[in-house]
A and B are shown apart, each in its own frame.
Chain A
């Protein structure tokens, strides 16, 4: 357990000097884009204990930048620490999100494209696709790290805001660039701030700064074996707090819905957003 405590301690120390996204989702994307010129740094952690495997903590360092009001780009650096197996860097991901429609509609589509170069020891569980399940993570790190994954992931993000509620649905298609079939998954989320109107006085812990929601996500098999058979699914209540100075803290316990899923996963995130970072640099 000691390395895990160390990783958690580092994460918390890092958190104190950082500030992240304001939607409380960890897996689902909404149509909210990063404001142009803003830079966001966040540390996302996921911890779980697979049956027959060791407890792990996966950390993702997320660097997000608003290139345009309709284009957000993001790089993730991923590492994990597994009890009694050590810690390692597992790879990177580079994602881009594009908003094709310039106005707000009842349903707002966003196109998502990601390239990931990770190894088999990556335990970020950032999305669940195909037949992903708990048993994949039970393999010792020394073996799983030898597998290299170069994946192209696409998502169709559909999202709506209505009377303070956000409702988002993601349809995921992922392709390992070796000769493996397309894998599919889904994620959906609903969230709402605890107060709709802002209070007139400055405050940190008032209800308007909290957002609560719930996510549902899981795999949908592959192109050859499409369906729910042998897939894993999760439901995850989530809550986020955003301070007025840009610091965001979010936490979400995920509960597995079938035998292929982890019984529980705990996700946490600490992030900070620098306003107009790009413009500060050009001055």
Chain B
């Protein structure tokens, strides 16, 4: 009984380490329904301006004022983010990337998250 228990414990440890070590690209995790979302504020300069204000308040501390990234947070001008759809960015703000240190911003209303997406897409 005891060796079986130890083996099971080892297996659990190996699985945990494996799960922690694996890095899944966040875009692969976006649900299809989010990919298809359209930004209700797309092309609205006022919304982009509000999004810029929200970015300074919530995002700039990690990503830098200009979004070029700081030591522990990536640049928002990367090819990956430039290629992301509005719905994918909205999903990322809603869920964050908790394993990699990006918090969830789901407590912000949808409208404010779309404003940030608008700013990201016009600023980028």
A residues bordering B, Cβ < 8 Å?
22-23, 30, 32-33, 35-38, 66, 68-70, 99, 102-104, 161, 163-164, 166, 193, 196-202, 208, 244, 275-276, 279
Q: Is B33 an interface residue (CB 8 A)?
A: no
B68 within 8 A of A: no
Task: Specify which of A30, A69, A275 lies most central, judged by the most chain B CB atoms within 10 Å of its CB.
Answer: A69
Complex Cα–Cα for A275 and B61 (A): 6
Contact residues in A for B102 (Cβ distance below 8 Å): 69
Q: A68-B101, A69-B103 are in contact. Are A196 and B110 (CB under 8 A)?
A: yes
Q: Which of B57-85 contact A (CB under 8 A)?
A: 57, 61-62, 71-72
Instruction: With both chains docked as a complex, state the minimum distance between the C-beta of B73 and any C-beta of chain A, in angstroms.
Output: 9
Query: How many of chain B's residues touch chain A, expressed as a range?
Result: 20 to 34
Q: Which of A68, A163, A197, A276 contacts B50 (CB 8 A)?
A: A197
Does B94 touch A at the CB level, under 8 Å?
A: yes
The answer to whether A103 touches B29 (Cβ under 8 A) is: yes
Interchain nearest-CB distance for B10 vs A (Å): 23
Please state if B53 and A69 are interface contacts (CB–CB under 8 Å).
Answer: no
Chain A proximity of B33: nearest CB distance (Å): 13
Q: Which B81-124 residues have C-beta < 8 A from chain A?
A: 94-104, 106-107, 109-112, 115
Contacts A36-B103, A103-B29; A163 near B109 (Cβ below 8 A) = yes
Contact indicator A197/B104 (Cβ below 8 Å) = no
Contact present for B109 and A103 (CB under 8 Å)? no
A161 to B112, CA, bound (A): 14
Q: How far is the CA of A199 from the CA of B47 in the complex (A)?
A: 8
Which chain B residues lie closer than 8 Å to A22 at the CB level?
A: 107
Q: Are B111 and A196 in contact (CB under 8 A)?
A: yes
* B112/A196 in contact, CB under 8 A: yes
Report how far A163 CA is from B107 CA in the complex, Å: 10
Of the candidates B53, B101, B111, the one whose C-beta lies within 8 Å of that of A36 is B101
Taking the complex as formed, is B39 at the interface, i.e. its CB lies under 8 A from any CB of chain A?
Answer: no
17 CB-based A-B contacts, threshold 8 Å: A33-B103, A35-B103, A36-B101, A38-B61, A68-B98, A69-B97, A70-B98, A104-B104, A163-B109, A196-B110, A197-B109, A199-B50, A200-B47, A201-B49, A275-B61, A279-B71, A279-B72
Q: Which residues of A contact B54 (CB under 8 A)?
A: 198
From A278, which residue of chain B is reached at the shortest CB distance?
B72
Nearest-neighbour CB distance to chain A for B32, whole angstroms, equals 15
Q: Provided the pairs A69-B98, A99-B98, A104-B94 are in contact, do residues A23 and B107 lie with their beta carbons within 8 angstroms?
A: yes
